Structure 1
C-alpha cells in the first residue's frame, strides 16, 4: 500500500479532542519530523510545527508506553480513591479528604484540570466536617492553584484567601505560608505589586524555626520579583541575596536555577543585555528539567529581542520550539511562535503571520489558559499594525483587551489600552479634515 506524507496539522484535526487521546496528540507532535522537501526552500524560514510530517509508525511504537502511563495514572487515582473510602469506613473524614486531594494531584500533574478540580471539590466537602479542618484548607489551596492555571484569577484569589483563613484558624503554619504565596502570585498576575508584596511579607512573618527552607527562599525570590517589577532594583537584589543564602545553606538544587534567572532578569532590568544573555546561557548548561530549560530559553529570547539581536532571538526561539517538540511540551510552543512573530515584525516580513496563526491554533486547544490567547492576539495586533492593517489590528487588540479585563491583568490592560488609543487615532486621522 502506498502512503503519502501526512502533515501534523491534518493529523491533529483528524483526531477528536478527548481526554483519553491527550497523550497521543502530544506524542504525535513529539515524534513528528521535518519535511525534507522544504528544508532548503525559502518557506522553511516560516515553518511551524503544523507543517512537520506525522510519523505514524513512530507514533504506533509509542502506544504501549502511552498506555502504561495512562494505566499508572488511573491506578494511582483509584488507589487514592479507595484509600478515601477506607478512611470514611474508619470514620476519619479528614484522612478521606487528604486522599481525595492526592488523587486530584495525580490528575493535575497530568494536566487533567477538570478531573483534578472534581477531586478537590469533593475533598473540600469532606474536609469541612471534622474538627481537624487542615484538609479543607489544603483543598482550597489546590482549587486556587487549578483556577490560576486556567487563568481564572478572581476565583483563584477567593480560594487562596479562604484557604489562608482556614490555615490560620487551624494553626497550620505551612498551609498559611503556602496560601500567602498563592494570594501574592495572583496579585502578581494582576500587576498589583503592593498587594503582592504585602502577602509575600505576611508569609515571611508566619515562618518559624521549623518552616521548610524551600518555602522561605521562594517567598524571598518572589519579593525580589515584586521589587524588580516595581523599579526597586537594589531591594530586588537584596531579596535575591537572602534567597540565595538559603539555597546555598541547604544545598537545595531546586533553587539554583530560579536564583540564576533572577540575577539575569535584574541585569535585563538594568539594560545590561549582554551580561544577562551570558547568565541565561550558563543556566542552560546546567541540568534543569525540559520545562525549566524552556522557561530559560524564553527569557533568553526576550532578552536578545530587547537588545535588538534578531538572529540570536530567532535561534533561541527555534531551540525552544525544538525542545517543546522533542519533549512533547506543546504549552511551550505559543511563546516560541510569538517570539518568531516578533522577529518577523521587526524585519517587516509579510510572511510572519504564519507564526501567529500557529500560536492561535495552539491557544485554542482544550485547557490552554486564556491569557495565552490574549497575549497572542495582542502580539498579532502589533504585527498587523506594522504591516499597515490598522482595522485588523484594532479587532485583535479588542479581543485581547476583553480577556485582560476579565482576568484583571492590569499591566497588560494598560499597555493594550494605550496601543488601542493610538490605533484608533490612526483610523480617525484621514477623516479629520473632512
Structure 2
C-alpha cells in the first residue's frame, strides 16, 4: 500500500550506518514536522524527533540537498589537499601543517568534529620535528578546542597545556594567552573553578603585560570567563563588575556570538541574585543576537531551566519546545542530545514517568556520537526520575555509571555531587531495609504559572 509520509524513525531505519549518509540523516530530521494527526494525543507531549513525520516530497528534497552538500564537501576536501601535497613536495612542511589546520577548521565549522580532530592530529605529527614551533602550537590548541567540544576533557587539557608551554618557550605571548585560556576553560567544565580562576587571571596578566588594558577579543573573552567563574564562586559583586566591563568591550568589538555569551553569563549571575525578571531580559537580549540555531537552542534550554527554578512549569515546557525547534534546525546532533536532557528534567520536575523518553533519546545520542560528559549528566538526571518513580536499584546503577565517567573526565565537582547523591541513596536503602517497605511517593502538584 502506497503512502505519502513516514516517521523519522522509519526513514532513518532505511539508511545504512555509513558516514557518507550522516548529512542525509540530519536533513531528514530538519525536514520533519510534528504529526498533526496526533496533536491532541497526550503522548505527543513526550514525542522525540523520531516520531515526527516527513512527506515523500520532502525526503526527495532532503536527498537532493544532502547529495549536493556531500559533493561540495568532497570537492572542497580534495581541493584542500592539493596545496598540502604541493607544500610537502616543496619541502615546506610548516606550510603543509598550517594548511592541514585550515582544512580541519573548515571541517570543524561544518560540524565534522571528529574529522577535524584527525586533520589537526595530522598537522601535529608533521610539525613535531620542525624548528618553527608555530604550527605545532596551533595544532595543539585546535586539538584542545575540538576535544573540549566533544567532552574529552583530559585530552583537551593536556593539549592546551603542551601548547602553552611551547608558546612560552618560543616567546609567543599571544599564543600562550590563548592556550592558557583554553586550559582554564577545561578546568571550568570540570568544575575546578578556583583553579580555572587562577589560570584565567594568569592569562589576563600576560595579555595586559603585552597590550595594556586595550579592548581586544582575547581580553573581553577573559572577562566573560572570569565573570562566569565569579558567579559560580558566589563573588557576585565581582562578577557583575567584570561582565559589565566585558559587555562594554563587546559593543566596540562587534562579535555577536561573544556578546550573546556575555548576556548568558549575565543572566546566570542575575539568577543567582534572585533577579529573575532581569535574568529573563538578559536571556532575551542574548536570543536577539544574530547567532546560530545551536546557540539559540542553548539559550532556550537555559530559559526553561530558569522557569523550572521559579516554579513555572508550563513556561518551562514552552521554552523546551523552542529549544527543540532550534536544535533541529541547527543540524547539531550534540544540541539535540543536550536539549532532550533538558526536556527530561522538565518532565522530572512534574514527576512524570513518561519523561523517560527524553532521557533515553539523550543517552542514545551521547553514546552513539561519543559525548561522554553529556552521557554522564543525563545518567545523573535520569537517575533522579527513576528514584522518584520507585526504580531505586536502576537509579543507583545510573549514578554509578555517571560516577565512572565523571571520574574518567576529571569532572571533580560533578563527581562530588554524584557521590553525595549515592551516599544519600544508600542511607535511604539501609533505612528502608530496617523499617520495611515505605509508602510510594505521591507527585507534587504542579506549580501554577
TM-score range, shorter chain: over 0.9
1:312 and 2:315 correspond: yes
Structure 2 unaligned runs (5+)?
A: 437-449
CA distance in 2, matches of 1:307, 1:29: 32
Partner SS for 1:432: helix
Q: Choose which of 261, 266, 290 in structure 2 pairs with 1:263.
A: 266
Partner SS for 2:17: coil
TM superposition shift of 1:137: 0.5
TM-score (norm 2): 0.91
Q: Choose which of 243, 246, 252 in structure 2 pairs with 1:249.
A: 252
TM superposition shift of 1:139: 0.7
- Report the counterpart of residue 229 of structure 2 in structure 1: 226
1:76-91, aligned counterparts within 5 Å? 76-91=76-91
TM superposition shift of 1:74: 2.5
1:196-211, aligned counterparts within 5 Å? 196-207=196-207, 208-209=210-211
- After superposition, what is the alpha-carbon deviation per residue over 1:179-211, rounded to whole angstroms, capped at 9, x for unaligned? 011100111111111221122112212222398
TM-score (norm 1): 0.94
Tell me: CA distance 1:96–1:336, structure 2 relative to 1, closer, same or farther (3 Å): closer
8 Å CA contact 2:9–2:51 kept in 1: the answer is: yes
Q: Choose which of 235, 238, 250 in structure 1 pairs with 2:238.
A: 235
CA distance in 2, matches of 1:376, 1:141: 28
Q: Choose which of 407, 420, 423 in structure 1 pairs with 2:422.
A: 420
1:215-364, aligned counterparts within 5 Å? 215-364=218-367
8 Å CA contact 1:221–1:239 kept in 2: the answer is: yes
- After superposition, what is the alpha-carbon deviation per residue over 1:374-406, rounded to whole angstroms, capped at 9, x for unaligned? 111111111011112211111111111111111
* Count of paired positions: 433
TM superposition shift of 1:8: 1.4
Stretch moving more, 221-230 or 82-91: 82-91
1:29-40, aligned counterparts within 5 Å? 29-40=29-40
CA distance in 1, matches of 2:253, 2:280: 28
Runs of 4+ in 1 over 6 A off after TM superposition: none
Partner SS for 1:54: strand
Structure 1 unaligned runs (5+)?
A: none
- Report the counterpart of residue 216 of structure 2 in structure 1: 213
Q: Choose which of 379, 382, 404 in structure 2 pairs with 1:380.
A: 382
CA distance in 1, matches of 2:29, 2:160: 35
Tell me: CA distance 1:62–1:260, structure 2 relative to 1, closer, same or farther (3 Å): same
1:146-225, aligned counterparts within 5 Å? 146-207=146-207, 208-209=210-211, 213-225=216-228
Q: Choose which of 370, 379, 398 in structure 1 pairs with 2:372.
A: 370
- After superposition, what is the alpha-carbon deviation per residue over 1:46-85, rounded to whole angstroms, capped at 9, x for unaligned? 2221111233431221333323322333233323322122
CA distance in 2, matches of 1:181, 1:359: 30
8 Å CA contact 2:308–2:349 kept in 1: the answer is: no
- Report the counterpart of residue 429 of structure 1 in structure 2: 431
1:42-81, aligned counterparts within 5 Å? 42-81=42-81
CA distance in 1, matches of 2:255, 2:4: 51
Partner SS for 2:341: helix
8 Å CA contact 2:292–2:330 kept in 1: the answer is: no
